[in-house]
Every structure is written in structure tokens, then in C-alpha cells.
Amino acid sequence: MRCFIIFLPVVLAWGVFTSGCGSGAPDGRDAAQDAEDAADGEIRFRNLSAEFTGDEACFDCHEEQYRGFQEHGMANSFYPMRSAAVVEDFTGVTVQDPNRGLFYRPYREGDRFWLEEFRRGADGSKTHSLVREIEYVVGSGTAARTYLVEEGGRYFELPLTWYTQGEKWDLSPGYEVSNSRFDRLIPDRCMACHNSYPHSTPFAEGKYEEVPYGIGCERCHGPGSVHVEARLASPEPAGDIDETIVNPAHLSLERRLDVCQQCHLHTTVSMLRDGRTAYDYRPSRPLSEHMTFYVSDTPDSGDEIDAISHADLMKKSACFIETQTWEKPMDCMTCHNPHEAFRLAGPDYFNATCMTCHDTAALQAALPSEASRAVHTEDAHCFSCHMPKAAVEGTPHTSFTDHRIRVVREREEDAASDVASSGEAPVERIRLRPYYAVDDSTDAYAGMAYVIRGLQQQDTTALRHGVTLLGATAGAFGEAQYLLGYGHMQLGEMERAVEPLERAVALESKPERLNALAQTYERLGREGTAIRDLYEQALATQPALASVRVNYGRYLETRGELTAAVAQYQAAIAEYPWLEAAHFNLGTARLRQGDRIGAERSLREAVLLNPDGGQALGNLGLLLAGSGRPEEARTFFEQAVRAEPENPVAFGNLGALHLNEGRPDIAVRLFSRAVELDPSYVDGLVNLALAWYLQGEDDRARMYAERALRLAPNHPQARQILDAV
């Protein structure tokens, strides 16, 4: 029985949702920005390149606003899990993922909280158990609370969420479709909107040196160091407006909305502009300088794509449109003053806001019927009818407010939940249009958007269209070249990937670009030191890139440098202990070195991290079978078949075990399935011939042996069987 050692390549988490991975704050003002602001009548604020100070620096002078904001959901967007703040039910709850046969049990031990993932066998015993601590909470709890665990500066989402509105546990959003288990890393873009800006690790997506707790004052007002220094020197500004800190009230409507839309604008694809990072946006600057957005422009998509883009929906309302000529037109803060704990104030807070324009007496006089007048009273809840709640596809047990502010007709009621659906159209119909007019003639960003869309949805049509657009943008910036090359890689077009990846590396040798180019060279069979140099350059730039170490180790193995490969895998595990691929590759490398004890330890860790990893299950089974432990081996071979029911090698390994154990009848069924899945599976054909031969079925044995020899004329076992019959 052959030991099929399959090495698992890992592509670096390459930041496909960003179009620039630099570091640091944006530069201070330049002459072009000053001229633009002067032309637009915007104020020139002086804190664009200031340092962040934290909310505590605001307290002494702005106590009322500070205390009000602490009750706001944004201030409570990210925080440690504490006993005093428990709202969840931890008493004997179990949630099942029916797609993968996994169960999740949240539980409490003293002042600490845990989540167990487990699976049961046919006899009811646990065949898998993995526990992670519930360390951090994301979400104020208004709609839900999602949980994170931290390991080595990386934060991972946990598979269960507490849905406040339904008061129940269930799978986290998106997990019911694709359960990422404990592997969903929180990348920079997610952290940037669910928290204040952290101290991130350069060139290591999703790794942080320090993480604050909750969105702070400076997210809307900009960095505070210049302001603090100026006001300590002189309590009052020289003019009517303090230019050392942004007050959104002094911004134009569009830039005021940008402050909110930096996180509350949801489109089909969003990207950072070239040279930007997730932490570069500064209030008072146009959001269009920082990001570009693309929305689906397909039949039947309607408003759905903007379903939780509250500001965009508000812009479609008559209330917003009719106030555009007012001195203080409607904006987000008309109803959502972040300095007031409006959620604690109850519905009267929002009703009072409506009444500032919609006087009850005037409404009564204008309404045509007694029935309509009866429901438009001073104590009526305006928003319950005119801003109904709508369910959000992909976010179970929650609903969000429809911000179109309108009269909802009866025929709309059944479709209310559609307002917040994803608006996904069939793959072949997806068309993307830019959100900002400045991108109307920009093929580079459009191409990037289609590539990203194609990668997100595994949509080859979109991916190929994006590659075509990018291919026509000669001289485009580095991230566009990188995505062009990466798109060709994903389409299997390695030769075409080389040139754009080389251009991207020449423009800026970022680790993800070096990694992609090295992989492309490998797949093309390039010789020489170029591949080694690319991997080593990437790791010299950022040694914490465990995924690159796994790729480099795999490359070293192909060169016969097992000791060096093992060192790379061990370094990857030291940096990222939960990286399954590192444990798997380390186990297979140790097996090749003859270190069966070390190999078993590593492969068992890989299986613990991913109980459905068919390759690790198979290799562990092979190791155990070769160590004279067939019953243990059969357990893992059977798990491999269940995990990968379309994998012929999994059936072949299990069949070989039964054949060696004297059960050729069972082996025949398994080998038959293996060669049905892959008619060119030579070892499966040979073993099937042997199984028939051992049962006295010479004609069938001859047939399969001959099939094997047609594929592999020099196969010794096939020739031996043919000679025997």
C-alpha cells in the first residue's frame, strides 16, 4: 500500500479586498488639497497628520459629550468578554451545523467563557473536540454579539453569535453557508470599521501589535494631538471655528456624510485606493480619495445592493431630498447624534426628531380620512410605519431599519425583507458600475473590481472580464498589476501571470507579490535561485508571514532539502500555531525523514485543527497502518472518505486496508468507487485487480490489470497479476 504524501500549498492572505497595503498615516496637506478645499468652500483643518490621543484626552473639556458617547453603540463595538456584561445564555446550549455535522457548545467556567466544537460518532462518543476561549466581543449587543479569540496578535472570529433580538445562539453570519470554524482571521479592513485604529504589523494582514477597545471620538473628529496641544496652550481658538480638530457640523453635507459612510456604505466590491491602507481615512477629506466602490448594475437588483448602506437609502427619501436647500439639510446626525444615548431614550427621541418638521396639527389637517388621522397622533411611533424593520440576508435573527422614510403601501409589506437582501444576480448577469463619477473612465479599478468579485464568488466570467480590463491598462499601478497576475494564476494561465507579477514586484516588492511570483515560477518549473530568492526576500521583509514559510518549506522539499523545509514549517508554527497547513506539511516531511513519532504528532494536530482535512486524515491513516495499528488507521481512513467523498485516493486507501486485512469483498466495492471517480487511477485499478484475483474472479482481475498496464505499461504489480491469471 503506497503512502500518498500530498503537500498542501498555501497562498498568502493577499489582501484582495484592498488596493494598497502601505503603512502609516496619510501625508499632511498639500497645495492641491488646499486649492480644492478653497474652491469647494471647505475648511482647512490642521489635524490630518496629527497623532491619535485616545478618548480619555477628550474627557476634561468635553465631559458631557464624552459620557453620552460612551452609551453609544460605536463606543461599545469591541471589548473584552467580562462577567459583568454577560447577556447570553450559557446553560446547556448546543448549536448544530447540519452541513458539516459539527456541534458547538458555549459554556462558562467561573469568570472565563469557552466555545467547544465537537462531533459524535455512530455510538454517540465524541470523535472530535476543539475548544477556544471567548475572549473578545464585537458588537454593542443592539442586534448581536459576535466573539473573537486572539493568538499571537491575530484575532479569529468564533462560529457562534448571540442574536440579541431573538435571544438565542446560532451560527455566525455566513457560517450557515460556509463554516470557517475557528479560522476566520479578522483582516485590517474589518478591524478598521469595528474598532478604533489598532497598531497593525506592516505587511502582515490581520496581525496587530496593539488593539484598542471600541470606536473612539477621533474616528469622526480626526486625530487629537494638535487640538489638545493648542487648547492646553490657549483654551479658546482664535477664530469662530477651531481648525485644530474636525467638527463634522462645519463640513459640507457630502463630506459630513463621508464621515459616516467610511463604514456605513456597503456595495458589491470596495477597494482602497492605490497607496492607501485601511487606517488612512481622515474626517474632512473626501472618502473618494481613500476608497473606490462598485455596485451591481444588473436586472432585478433594485435597491437591494444598498440594503444596509443606510446613508444611501436615506438619500432616496423625500425628507432628505426636500431639505437640500435648507441651511441645515437632513443628514445622519439629524436622528443619530453620537453624543446622546438615544437608544436609552426610547422611541420618543426619534419621534421628537420627526416632529421638528412634521407637526401633528399640520398632519391632521392634511390627511384625507379619519382612519389615517387616528394613527397620526403625538404619541404615535412614526418610524414603526415609515421606516419598517427588514431582515438581512446572511444575518439571521436580526433586522435593520429601512432608511428610505416613506409611506409603505400594503403590497410592499410582504416584500419588506427584500429591502435588505444581498441582491445577488446570476453569475453571468453581474455587471459592476462605479459608485463615484471619478471612476467612470478608470479601467484599472473596474478591472480590479471584477477580479475581486470573481475571486469572492468563484465567478470565472467576472474574473476573466476583470483580467481583460486590467490587461488593457498598460502602465497601471502596482496593485492593478498584481491582481492581473493573480487573476491569471487563478485561471491557470501561469505564463500570462509572469509579466504583470514581475512588473508589480518591480514597482514595489511587497511580500504577497513576491510570494505569488515565486509560486508562478514553481508551477512553470523554473530553475535556478530565483524562486528561493523571492521567498527569502518576502520573509526578510516580514518574518511573521507563516503562510509564506509554508510555501517556502514546500519548495525546499521539492529540492530535497528536508531539514531546511522542516525548519520553515516549525518557524511557521511558532508564529501561527493554528495554521493547519504548517502542521500537515511538517507531519509529511517528518514521515519522509523516518520520524514516525514526530510525524504522528504533527498529523494529529492537523486533524484536530481541521477534522475534515482529507489529506491529513489519509496520511495519518497510512502512518498508523504502517505502524501495525490497523484499527486506528481504519478510523482515519473512514473519516477521510466521509470528508472527501469525491476523492479516489481516500477510497483507495480504505480499500487497501480491507484488502490487507483479508476482506477483499469490501475492498472491491471501495476500489470500484475509486476508479469510477478517476478511471486513470492506476494504483486503484491494480488493487481492484488483486481484490478480484483473491476472490477467484480471474477474468475481472485480468480486465483491470490490463487497464492498468495500458496506462502504466511497466507497472510491476499489474504485470504480476496478469501473469498469475
* DSSP string over 152-187: TTEEEEEEEEEETTTTEEEEPTTTTTS--TT-EE--
**Can you read off the three cell numbers belonging to residue 712?**
502504466
Task: Report yes or no: 314 and 334 within 8 Å, Cβ to Cβ.
Answer: no
CB neighbour list of residue 347: distance below 8 Å, 6 or more residues apart: 381, 383, 384
- Return the exposure string of 561-577: e unless at least 16 CB atoms fall within 10 Å of the residue's CB, then b: eeeebbebbbbbbebbe
- Cell 486507501, residue located: 653
Task: Report yes or no: 10 and 547 within 8 Å, Cβ to Cβ.
Answer: yes
First to last CA, the chain: 21
Q: Which neighbouring-strand residues pair with 105? A: 116
The closest alpha carbon to 282, from 476, 37, 93, belongs to 37
Which tens digit of pLDDT belongs to each residue from 453-501?
A: 999 999 999 999 999 999 998 778 999 999 999 999 999 999 999 999 9
- Predicted TM-score of the model (pTM): 0.90
Q: How far apart are CA 75 and CA 71, in angstroms?
A: 7
Task: Report yes or no: 247 and 255 within 8 Å, Cβ to Cβ.
Answer: no
* Helix (H) and strand (E) counts in the chain: 33, 17
Residue 326 has a pLDDT of 93
Q: How far apart are CA 708 and CA 205, in angstroms?
A: 48
Residue 27 has a pLDDT of 44
CB neighbour list of residue 585: distance below 8 Å, 6 or more residues apart: 7, 8, 550, 553, 554, 557, 565, 569
Question: Could you tell me the CA-to-CA distances from 590 to 85, 289, 603, 604 in Å, in that order?
Answer: 47, 51, 10, 13
Q: How far apart are CA 246 and CA 281, in angstroms?
A: 13
The closest alpha carbon to 5, from 585, 680, 679, 685, belongs to 585
**Can you read off the three cell numbers belonging to residue 146?**
459576535
Per-residue 3-state assignment (H helix, E strand, C coil) for 673-693: HHHHHCCCCHHHHHHHHHHHH
Q: How far apart are CA 623 and CA 6, in angstroms?
A: 13
Strands 112-120 and 126-133: antiparallel
Strands 291-296 and 199-200: unpaired
Task: Report yes or no: 560 and 528 within 8 Å, Cβ to Cβ.
Answer: no
Domain segments of the chain: what residues? 1-41+251-301+425-544, 42-248
Q: How far apart are CA 539 and CA 549, in angstroms?
A: 8
Q: Where are the beta strands (DSSP E) in 93-222?
A: 95-97, 102-109, 112-120, 126-133, 136-138, 144-151, 154-163, 168-171, 184-185, 199-200, 208-210
Q: How far apart are CA 511 and CA 515, in angstroms?
A: 6
Q: How far apart are CA 219 and CA 395, in angstroms?
A: 26
Task: Report yes or no: 286 and 437 within 8 Å, Cβ to Cβ.
Answer: no
Q: How far apart are CA 133 and CA 129, in angstroms?
A: 13
Single-letter residue type at 166: G
Residue 31 has a pLDDT of 56
The closest alpha carbon to 71, from 134, 142, 136, belongs to 142
**Can you read off the three cell numbers belonging to residue 52?**
491619535
The closest alpha carbon to 654, from 681, 677, 678, 673, belongs to 673
* H or E element in which residue 392 lies: strand 389-392
Task: Give pLDDT < 50 ranges for the chain.
Answer: 1-28, 301-307, 414-427
**Can you read off the three cell numbers belonging to residue 59?**
474627557
CB neighbour list of residue 497: distance below 8 Å, 6 or more residues apart: 485, 486, 488, 489, 516, 520
Homologous superfamily, domain 1-41+251-301+425-544? Tetratricopeptide repeat domain (1.25.40.10)
214: left (phi over 0), alpha (psi -120 to 50) or beta: left
Residue 25 has a pLDDT of 44
